[in-house]
Amino acid sequence: MQPDASVNKRRLAVEYHEHKQRWDAAFAFIRKGDFLLPVGDHELDGKDAFVRVVEYDSNDPSKVFYETHRQHADIQFLVSGEELIGQSDLSGASVKEVYDEAKDLELYNGTGGRNLLAKPGTFFIFFAGEGHRPGMKVNESVPVRKMVIKVRD
């Protein structure tokens, strides 16, 4: 598994040194390669790092919204399928759904930014506050199995 070129390595270094145990648990999970876990949440370092296993069909971009988190960074990677993940600073984007603390999620209307191709073998990191738009179909809708490791900031 390799990081995508979009990963902010400088910010990763800062975050890693602030919360080494959490990031070590996340990267150990990736190295172990146990990607057959059932759909749902699975703790890696208590509630400070956990993996969320999801399955869905990639979607039309018009049905997918940008999102940000305040409490967690996301390490996202596909086990199967392919999708586009939008990445944007969200300047000028309007809020679609206000921040929900329980879900650690705020949704935005918006287009633009850049689209990153996600396929098995590559992981992406979106830090707290960074806009991302996962789940968009590449050409046609396909089934996706994805792991999202949530690392508390």
pLDDT in tens, 76-100: 999 999 999 999 989 889 999 999 9
Under DSSP, is residue 146 helix (H, G, I), strand (E, B) or coil?
strand
Q: Which domains does the chain have, with CATH numbers?
A: 2-152 (2.60.120.370)
pLDDT in tens, 130-141: 999 999 999 999
Please report, as a single letter, which amino acid is at residue 104. Answer: D
Under DSSP, is residue 77 helix (H, G, I), strand (E, B) or coil?
strand
Question: In Å, how far are 58, 63, 83, 136 from 139, measured between CA atoms?
Answer: 10, 15, 9, 9
CA 3 to chain centre: 12
18: which 2 tokens? 């602030």
Please report, as a single letter, which amino acid is at residue 106. Answer: E
CA 99/CA 34 separation, integer angstroms: 32
pTM recorded for the entire structure: 0.95
